[in-house]
A = this chain, B = another copy of it.
Amino acid sequence: MSKVGIPQGTRDFSPIQVAKRSYIFETIKNTFLKYGFQPIETPTMENLSTLTGKYGEEGDKLLFKILNNGEFLNKVDKTLIDDANYNKLVPALCDRGMRYDLTVPFARYVVMHLNDIQFPFKRYQIQPVWRADRPQKGRYREFYQCDADVVGSNSIMYESELIQIYDQVFQKFGLNVTIKLNNRKILSAIATVAGIPNQMMDMTISIDKLDKIGLEGVKNELLNRAISVQAIDIIIDCLQINDLGILKTKLENSEEGMLGISELEKAISMSGITHNKVEFDITLARGLNYYTGCILEVKANDVEMGSIGGGGRYDDLTSVFGLKDVSGVGISFGADRIYDCLEQLDLFPNNNINQTKAIILSFDYVSFNKALELSQKLRSEGFNIEVYPEGAKFPKQMKYTNDRNIPFAIIIGENELTNSEFTLKDMDSGNQESLDISQLIAKLK
């Protein structure tokens, strides 16, 4: 007998959880489609060589690798085993690994299918990824990413579309959010103005921690990274600016800075979002160093939670696979955190959760046959209908209906058979009424 359990960091999803997650994925997907994004899917398994070296040394460790099938030792040099030389042993034992994110497979896809793609290529991808991270609250070893990217165009219109997509998706969820924007060119200009153009990454990494360590903490970080006090003063001064107009006066001598500001202004104005959902945040840095233009991040206003979305513009997606000059801009939704937000704020729509509209209950062979007939009629009208199988006692049938949270029970008893009527019981209120078939259909609608 096998012991029953699932691997650490993985999850089963119950019917209610699947329904809630589908609601999130469908909302995001439909908004992607509304803007002409097209879906692709890539395999769970990639060649290990496609994945290795793309996520840094730490990332390589967190890849899940798939053991070669058959007599896998035949290909392995035994000294690697004796020396416990894991760096060489893993690729000898494993030709394949599991998808770690959606960006690298997307880059690989673009290069492999170049001739079939029309640029600008607007693709979305909603698929699970796997990471051997230490599991903790809100962090799983299997989780979904929801990405949209446009590659092959520099138009800032796409930044504005992605801002609109964030706005519309979270509006549909009923979630109040702030879309924070910044531009890597502005950060780079600040580094230049502060006289440390070559330490821009050091500066960015420090700024990225502002939320956690505060301004004083950032100062100390910068000092520890051997940045001069004068430079730090300029940086800290800039970090307190939250108005693009004022920033312009600070960066007026930096062509790069002025370009970054103008890109931001364009993106915001084209998005047409005037209310205060979109916010310039000069302290927004985002760790990933492949971003080169606008960067975005979404925070929920009414609940304590890390960012629930993020993205930005990059200059180079595919050169690691031999294709230069593929630039683009993309965003991602954090589905698991969004789930937690909607749960905490009780924002999941009720009617989405239990997809069965009604169950038909019967008492004997004759009423059961009537139930079968009625079920087909109601299903053909578009309702999701369950029939309780013949022969169970009524309390048992009601208990099942209750436990399953089915909103309506349709009861066929002796009276109902004689009068060609049905009793509709609203399980929430407990109210019952006698209805003929057309009234029943109207009521269920």
| Binary B-proximity of A269-284 (CB < 8 A = 1, otherwise 0) | 0101000000000000
**At the interface with chain B, which of A6-14, A175-183, A229-237, A421-429?**
A6-14
Tell which of B7, B35, B160 touches A47, judged by Cβ atoms closer than 8 Å. B7
Q: Which B residues are CB-close (under 8 A) to A366?
A: none
Q: Which B residues are CB-close (under 8 A) to A70?
A: 61
Kindly report which residue of chain B lies nearest to residue A318, judged by CB atoms. Answer: B4
- As for how many copies of this chain the complex holds, the number is 2
> What's the tally of chain A residues with a CB closer than 8 Å to chain B?
101
User: For the complex, is A327 an interface residue (Cβ under 8 Å from B)?
Assistant: no
**At the interface with chain B, which of A93-101, A202-210, A213-221, A336-344?**
A93-101
* CB <8 Å contact, A67 and B40: no
Quick one: given A15-B39, A403-B118, are A4 and B111 in contact (CB under 8 Å)? yes
User: For the complex, is A132 an interface residue (Cβ under 8 Å from B)?
Assistant: yes
- Closest CB-CB distance, A166 to chain B, in whole Å? 14
User: For the complex, is A249 an interface residue (Cβ under 8 Å from B)?
Assistant: no
User: For the complex, is A123 an interface residue (Cβ under 8 Å from B)?
Assistant: yes
User: For the complex, is A364 an interface residue (Cβ under 8 Å from B)?
Assistant: no
Kindly report which residue of chain B lies nearest to residue A96, judged by CB atoms. Answer: B7
Give the CA-CA distance A41 to B116 in the complex, in Å.
33
* CB <8 Å contact, B69 and A66: no
User: For the complex, is A384 an interface residue (Cβ under 8 Å from B)?
Assistant: yes
Q: Which B residues are CB-close (under 8 A) to A158?
A: 389
Q: List 22 A-B contacts (CB under 8 A).
A: A2-B321, A3-B47, A4-B112, A4-B321, A10-B45, A12-B40, A14-B116, A18-B40, A33-B356, A33-B384, A34-B383, A35-B379, A35-B385, A36-B385, A36-B387, A43-B142, A44-B130, A45-B64, A45-B130, A45-B141, A93-B93, A272-B373
